[in-house]
Amino acid sequence: MNRRVVVTGLGAITPIGNDVNEFWEGIKSSKCGIDNISLFDATDFKVKLAGEIKNYDPEEYFDKRSCRRLDRFTQLAIIASKEAMKDSKISEENTDMERVGCIISSGIGGIKTIEKENQAHLEKGPDRVSPMYIPMSICNMATGNVAIELGLKGESLAIVTACAGGTHAIGEAYRLVKHGYQDAVLAGGTEASITPLSIAGFTNIKALTQETDKTRASIPFDKERSGFVMGEGAGILVLEELEHAKKRNAKIYAEVVGYGASSDAYHITSPAPEGEGGARAMINAIKDADIKPEEITYINAHGTSTHLNDSCETSAIKKVLGEHSKKVMVSSTKGNTGHLLGAAGGVEAVVCAKSIEDNFVPPTINYKVPDEECDLDIVPNEGRNIEVKYAMSNSLGFGGHNSSIILKKYED
């Protein structure tokens, strides 16, 4: 059984907007969400910048008890999921909730809670560790709490594949709906890892930039790039079987037509030479979509602003698209948001859906110095008003995980 799968709901909370409309306007206006770290005292840290969510007060969204019992990564997932579900207008009245699933990725999970409770253990002893420590910190609790909050009784999964996780979640949700296991799935990613331990760990593995200029820190494909900027947030989509959506007269943003995944089987942090593994994920997505490479209008690249990622992803795109790689538009929106790890694929899929809806290709912002290793059309600094028929989103993760999805402009 192969059924058509469409996107009927979007939700996001990001460093440049606390809902989808604000986020998308930030993308269109080239807004940069990179700023000085305020979530903890970074005085003694080499890394000073991050992509934090602005003006976020949990008590505007949750009661005081929930604020204490939900780690920040779960809070963000619930906020974006509620927005996506409200946008889709799925309800118990028009949908069998036992056939609505939930797949939300997080690369790090509740690291804020882990740090806090470890400190309590060291300073006050084991009896002072909160009984909520485990249910607040484990990665599946974003999915679990969203399912509880929204009454989603279908398949409930948490995919943990580092920075590829958000796209894997959407891809696996697409398969569940396509092959008839679910009528709809809420899918995407969430992350809240701007914490002392997380920043220190990523700094010491040489992944983060130590740049202090906010406009020159997250600069994908720029020759002066020196590492990624940690971001936080959540991006969620509602994927739904087409006939089910039409029966409800649902708004359709785009159709999901292709998904590909692969493993580098090469190194724990470095991509395979010339992006060989990422290329296979893209090839698999194109085959699944049953289209020609030259039909792709826009690629939202993983584009992390690290030397290896950006050069290897460029090589991969050239390998997959051949001559069309000279024409396809390829931008990274991590210049706007920083790198949201397990949430990146979810947020960037929202970008692709809105790009298709609005016929607008987002720019790669703050770009100054061309790199001969990254010589694609990266839509530098200024977005373009152009029809987007097929948009691809790539996500690549530590451990050699690769995932790509393809969205298409919906045609009845």
Residue 16 forms part of a structural domain = yes
β partners of residue 298 = 329, 391
Residues labelled catalytic: 163, 302, 339
Are 156 and 130 in a shared domain? yes
Are 180 and 302 in a shared domain? no
pLDDT score of 339 = 98
Are 231 and 272 in a shared domain? no
Along the 412 residues of the chain, how does pLDDT read in single tens digits? 799 999 999 999 999 999 999 999 999 999 999 999 999 999 999 999 999 999 999 999 999 999 999 999 999 999 999 999 999 999 999 999 999 999 999 999 999 999 999 999 999 999 999 999 999 999 999 999 999 999 999 999 999 999 999 999 999 999 999 999 999 999 999 999 999 999 999 999 999 999 999 999 999 999 999 999 999 999 999 999 999 999 999 999 999 999 999 999 999 999 999 999 999 999 999 999 999 999 999 999 999 999 999 999 999 999 999 999 999 999 999 999 999 999 999 999 999 999 999 999 999 999 999 999 999 999 999 999 999 999 999 999 999 999 999 999 999 8
pLDDT score of 166 = 98
Are 239 and 290 in a shared domain? no
> 289 — phi, psi (to 5°)?
-75, -15
The last residue of a domain, from among 247, 269, 285: 247
Residue 252 forms part of a structural domain = no
Residue 253 forms part of a structural domain = no
Other beta carbons within 10 angstroms of residue 217's beta carbon come to 28
Instruction: Determine contact, residues 358/344, Cβ cutoff 8 Å.
Output: no
β partners of residue 188 = 104, 236
Structure-token pair, residue 405: 């999805």
Q: Is 377 helix (H, G, I), strand (E, B) or coil?
A: strand
Instruction: Determine contact, residues 121/163, Cβ cutoff 8 Å.
Output: no
pLDDT score of 412 = 87
Expressed as residue numbers, the domain containing 351 is 258-408
Instruction: Determine contact, residues 364/220, Cβ cutoff 8 Å.
Output: yes
pLDDT score of 220 = 98
pLDDT score of 37 = 98
Per-residue CA distances from 105 to 97, 152, 159, 202 (Å)? 21, 16, 5, 19
Nearest to 228 by CA among 344, 54, 383, 359: 344
Are 286 and 204 in a shared domain? no
The last residue of a domain, from among 247, 280, 299: 247
Nearest to 178 by CA among 337, 12, 405, 339: 405
The last residue of a domain, from among 195, 220, 247: 247
Are 120 and 228 in a shared domain? yes
Identify the CATH number of the domain in which residue 106 sits: 3.40.47.10
Structure-token pair, residue 44: 């003694």
Are 242 and 269 in a shared domain? no
Beta-carbon contacts of 303 under 8 Å, excluding residues fewer than 6 positions away, are 220, 221, 309, 310, 313, 330, 331, 332, 334, 364
